[in-house]
Structure 1
Amino acid sequence: MARHALSVLLFTLPVLLCSPSFGGPVAESVNGSCVRFLVVGDWGGVPNAPFVTPVEWATAREMGRTAEQLGADFVLALGDNFYYRGVRSVDDPRFQETFENVYTAKSLNIPWYVVAGNHDHAGNVRAQIQYSKMSRRWNFPYYYYELNFRIPHTTATLQVLMLDTVLLCGNTDDFQDGKPNGPASSALANRQLVWLQDRLHRSTADFLLVAGHYPVWSVSKHGPTDCLLRKLHPLLVKYKATAYLCGHDHNLQYFKESGVGYVVSGAGNFIDPDMRHRNSVPRDSLKFFTGKSSTLGGFVHMEVTEKKLTVTFIQARGTSLYRSVLLKRSL
């Protein structure tokens, strides 16, 4: 039926921590011999009327145009889905005000695969997970989970490991130091880390992406995340991940370091030119940065073919800003 197969695999946890069963839709690619998708983070509006920022409006419109013109099979939504304190329940009107009523383009009526950010954890993340049963396109089966795709008409595969970096590293107060100071539960953090290492160790995917909310590398307000540098960075290098995708800082950034690409796509709702941590990243690793208000916000478009992954940073004004190509893994 479909030209590329999608499966979502969840780690089996003890009964009290079991994730809901999730059989994910089998999406039909309209893009020939490739898989294409959008990556957006920090897109979650504001808690008071009109509930949407100008940056979110502009970015949503351009996401719709890009999905229509370049093609998109799904969206990766990388946290801070609802500012500033998440949602209260599965019936919270913010689902309509900030999501359903904003991303209305027909081309965006595709699966959205969601993880939580620090602002989401200030509210009810379980309600966001439960909303998967209320919306045909909202897919949030558990705090962390796995996506697998086959590139149409090829034998190449794409694997995406979706993480909850707040459970892994702890929450943070953006209005103070902005640094996570340890997980609320060491047991839950370790369980996710064991799951991640197992998936990375067993991965034979031609393209392996890991996605979360906090950045590994960033030159902006929050800077590199020490917890992820200790826990995640060595795994990305050891297991030859293609790229790590995140948001948290409200701009667009791209790094290449130790053979791994690092994408920061956090310009879905606000835009920030801050580069205070420019000296906190490895020398020559930063390849691209923009936080200009004139962009009106932005996101990333990705295209995966049999042999390469093309990363394109797009501003909400409607033009591409930077492009990079990552080759298939050599295992």
Structure 2
Amino acid sequence: MSFTLFLVYALVSLAGVTALWLLYRYGQERRYRRQPYVASTARAGAAAPTPSEAPAYSIALVGDLGAVATNGRDPVINLLQDWQQQTGSAGAVVILGDNIYPTGLPVPTHPGRADAEHRLNAQLDALRPFAGRVIFLSGNHDWNKGRRDGYEYLLRQEAYVRDHLPTAHYLPARGCPGPVTMQLPGNVLLVVLNTQWWVQHGTRPLGDAYGCTASTSREPFEQLRQVLAANQHQRIVVAGHHPLYSNAMHGGQFTTKQHVFPLLAVHKKAYVPLPVVGSLFPAYRRVVGAAEDMAHPRYRAMRRRLLRVLRDFPNVIYAAGHDHNLQYFQRRGGHYLVSGSGSKTAFVQKGGKATFTHEHKGFFVIEFYANGETWLRTLEPGIATDTVRAAEPFRSHLYTAAAPSEPATPTPAAASVRVGSGG
């Protein structure tokens, strides 16, 4: 057999095997896509009722709101407002970044400025009546998708939020890496990191010149370790934009359609079939990674250093957005959330290391009870137009800590303590 004929047979065989694999994957995806997945070990707990009394404090974690509807009928915004009315001052809303799609808040003369303002105003208007705390984080889209002039976009958005909702906190201030701490009632400590700082191109504020306490890229992790070590008596939530575990695109998981039509990553209507060759793009994203993928060297280094710290402190909850779905992982004593479906949804692979996944709009809520119990709940909008809240697809009793001994409401001084904030 000639080499040319052998090569033809090999290519035909490869194409056939690839086609069978893609057909199998497609069949699997059709069965589970957009269906909630709960690991078998967590199904019994997911059906358990939460404590009968009201939580002492609650935190709503809402990510990637940047494409919300501006007509007053956005389902996630309406769900968030419903939660705010029920929670009152005994809660906080943490907006996990990517607050304006596609590229944050441009200059006033930019043709996209009006639309960007409308999307951000829809969030600010919904949060304005809330009696609890409001904390904004930034994501890669808020930094002009990580481009070199992204710092200017970040500063504009921070100033806009400060001017139009003065009661809100935009953290870490001035784009510093953090960490920033905020003492909350119920013996709850919120720690905020600017994870975009480690993957950003161009200006990245650091040191006294920018008002940041960290002077090197490693120092924030040392400061985080100090904060966690000093507050082991508290219930701690660490918030950042980028997830540390993910079964979705930024974790290297792609749909069959993305394997066959890879140009959809460039344009949503680019249905140009490129089988076999198209699989090279997902493989690249999984192994090498774009700038916002876990596989990218900057992201990988940030993730490794952050996990090295978090794994030394059991029951710390780390919450992120970035991937447009809901995911929960319990790994090495820690709890890792992806709550990034505030305005968009995208494919998420079931199984693997995940305890729960769902390709659905919504957000996670963490509830802290006076008896020391901490619960994770999943809030999703109803499908019917007159249903604000759907049936809860997943809940979990995360852990029970020693009941807090101090009063539920901290002193004003304690409530404003911040470390590594740059402001």
Q: TM-score, normalised by structure 2?
A: 0.57
Alignment partner of 1:222: what SS? Answer: helix
Structure 2: any 5+ residue segments left out of the alignment?
Answer: 1-52, 145-149, 207-213, 252-293, 383-388, 403-423
Classify 1:325/1:116 alpha carbon distance in 2 versus 1 (closer, same or farther; 3 Å).
same
Confirm or deny: 8 A CA contact 1:43 1:56 kept in the other structure. no
Instruction: From 128, 134, 158, give the equivalent of 2:188.
Output: 158
1:227 Cα deviation after fit: 2.9
Classify 1:305/1:130 alpha carbon distance in 2 versus 1 (closer, same or farther; 3 Å).
same
Classify 1:269/1:239 alpha carbon distance in 2 versus 1 (closer, same or farther; 3 Å).
same
Alignment partner of 2:99: what SS? Answer: coil
Instruction: From 163, 169, 185, give the equivalent of 1:139.
Output: 169
* Separation in 2, partners of 1:205, 1:77: 26
Confirm or deny: 8 A CA contact 2:97 2:321 kept in the other structure. yes
2:103 alignment partner in structure 1: 85
2:354 alignment partner in structure 1: 286
Instruction: From 320, 334, 347, give the equivalent of 1:246.
Output: 320
* Separation in 2, partners of 1:125, 1:218: 25
Confirm or deny: 8 A CA contact 1:215 1:248 kept in the other structure. yes
Q: What letter is aligned with 2:221?
A: L
* Separation in 2, partners of 1:90, 1:148: 36
1:304 alignment partner in structure 2: 368
How well do the aligned residues superpose, as a CA RMSD in angstroms? 3.2
Confirm or deny: 8 A CA contact 2:70 2:122 kept in the other structure. no
1:260 aligns with 2:277: no
Deviations 1:51-75 (A, max 9, x none): 7389991110111112223556221
Structure 1: any 5+ residue segments left out of the alignment?
Answer: 1-30, 46-50, 152-156, 173-182
1:325 aligns with 2:397: yes
Confirm or deny: 8 A CA contact 1:35 1:304 kept in the other structure. yes
Confirm or deny: 8 A CA contact 1:158 1:205 kept in the other structure. no
Classify 1:108/1:116 alpha carbon distance in 2 versus 1 (closer, same or farther; 3 Å).
same
Q: What letter is aligned with 1:167?
A: W
2:420 alignment partner in structure 1: none
Q: What letter is aligned with 1:251?
A: N
* Separation in 1, partners of 2:73, 2:393: 18
What does 1:34-113 align with in structure 2 at a 5 Å threshold? Answer: 34-45=56-67, 52=69, 57-71=74-88, 73-88=91-106, 93=114, 96-102=117-123, 104-105=125-126, 108=130, 110-113=132-135
Q: Tell me which structure has the larger Cα radius of gyration.
A: 2
Deviations 1:189-231 (A, max 9, x none): 3232232222223223421111101110000010155234311
1:267 Cα deviation after fit: 0.2
Deviations 1:247-278 (A, max 9, x none): 11000001111111111100001001242xx6
1:37 Cα deviation after fit: 2.2
* Separation in 1, partners of 2:192, 2:118: 25
* Separation in 1, partners of 2:233, 2:160: 30
Instruction: From 219, 223, 235, give the equivalent of 1:191.
Output: 219
1:115 alignment partner in structure 2: 137
Instruction: Point out the more displaced range, 94-103 or 246-255.
Output: 94-103
Alignment partner of 2:60: what SS? Answer: strand
Instruction: From 132, 135, 148, give the equivalent of 2:183.
Output: 148
1:308 Cα deviation after fit: 1.6
Instruction: Point out the more displaced range, 320-329 or 206-215.
Output: 320-329
Deviations 1:40-94 (A, max 9, x none): 011112xxxxx73899911101111122235562210111111111113699656
Q: What letter is aligned with 1:325?
A: H
Alignment partner of 1:312: what SS? Answer: strand
Q: What letter is aligned with 2:97?
A: G
Q: What letter is aligned with 1:210?
A: V
Confirm or deny: 8 A CA contact 1:298 1:313 kept in the other structure. yes
Q: What letter is aligned with 1:133?
A: R
| Same amino acid, percent of matched pairs | 23
1:126 aligns with 2:200: no
* Separation in 1, partners of 2:335, 2:378: 13
Confirm or deny: 8 A CA contact 2:316 2:335 kept in the other structure. yes
Classify 1:79/1:63 alpha carbon distance in 2 versus 1 (closer, same or farther; 3 Å).
same
* Separation in 2, partners of 1:240, 1:81: 30
Q: What letter is aligned with 1:66?
A: W
* Separation in 2, partners of 1:33, 1:303: 6
Alignment partner of 1:321: what SS? Answer: coil
1:234 Cα deviation after fit: 1.6
Alignment partner of 2:393: what SS? Answer: strand
1:269 alignment partner in structure 2: 343
Alignment partner of 1:289: what SS? Answer: strand
* Separation in 2, partners of 1:323, 1:305: 15
1:109 Cα deviation after fit: 5.8
Classify 1:33/1:80 alpha carbon distance in 2 versus 1 (closer, same or farther; 3 Å).
closer
1:202 alignment partner in structure 2: 230
